[in-house]
Chain A
Amino acid sequence: EVVMTQSPLSLPVTLGQPASISCRSSQSLVHSDGNTYFNWFQQRPGQSPRRLIYKVSNRDSGVPDRFSGSGSGTDFTLKISRVEAEDVGVYYCMQGTHWPRTFGQGTKVEIK
């Protein structure tokens, strides 16, 4: 099983400031078809999860451009260029290259 390790697990941020979350996988997430099936999800308090980023760096429809994803192989990053109040919640990374699908532990983003 591929283990996904996120850091930090808690991230206090100031409104308008940037934020960054790291995710590392225990194996390469490059699929045999050449794609890297790595996603980021946001779960706001009391809500269902929502996918933000797919295949490392592609934003889902409706996701603000202040969110960006990057990385390759085993190391990935989610960046928020300027944190807004609506960004509070828990962020999860997830790999879709190997079975079973696995998630990171989650990073809780809160406003200072």
Chain B
Amino acid sequence: EVQLLESGGGLVQPGGSLRLSCAASGFIFSNYGMSWVRQAPGKGLEWVSSIGTGGSTFYADSVKGRFTISRDNSKSTLFLQMNSLRAEDTAVYYCARTIAFDSWGQGTLVTVSS
């Protein structure tokens, strides 16, 4: 069974940083592209970033230059380094398998507020 477990969310001040992690199990992690999708409170879904099996990366314009996606295949873990955080980055961040989001984690809440 595919399992994705996000962690690392929390309360951070504007301009601060957070690093999200997504621990994957139940599949061969290195064989799949992975993505982050976020959902602001009471709002819809917004794609944030994806990383391919070879390490190619893609970002939404809203986070480009501030967020960095990476992966550690030896630990079956996906990361999202978030810098220069803004209030509008407040959301539940979901880890999703592939760039077609065929499986999702339970999400981790990031709150950017002073």
Contact = CB atoms under 8 A, between A and B. Distances in A.
B61 A100 contact: yes
A95 to B, nearest CB: 10
A92 B44 contact: yes
Interface in A68-106: 90, 92, 94, 96, 99-106
B79 interface: no
A96 B35 CA distance: 12
A51 interface: yes
Given A101-B50, A103-B46, A48 B104 contact: yes
Name, among B60, B100, B107, the residue most crowded by chain A CB atoms within 10 Å (CB to CB): B100
Interface in B34-81: 35, 37, 44-47, 50, 58, 60-61
A17 B60 CA distance: 39
Interface residues of A, number: 22
A94 B35 CA distance: 14
B37 to A, nearest CB: 8
Interface string B76-106: 0000000000000000001000011111111
B44 A51 contact: no
Contact of B101 (A41, A99, A100, A104): A41
Interface of A: 37, 39, 41, 43, 48-51, 54, 60, 90, 92, 94, 96, 99-106
13 contacts: A43-B45, A48-B107, A50-B104, A51-B100, A54-B100, A92-B45, A94-B47, A94-B101, A96-B100, A100-B47, A100-B60, A101-B47, A106-B44
Interface of B: 35, 37, 44-47, 50, 58, 60-61, 94, 99-107
The 9 closest A-B pairs by CB, nearest first: A101-B47, A48-B104, A103-B45, A106-B44, A96-B100, A100-B60, A51-B102, A49-B104, A105-B44
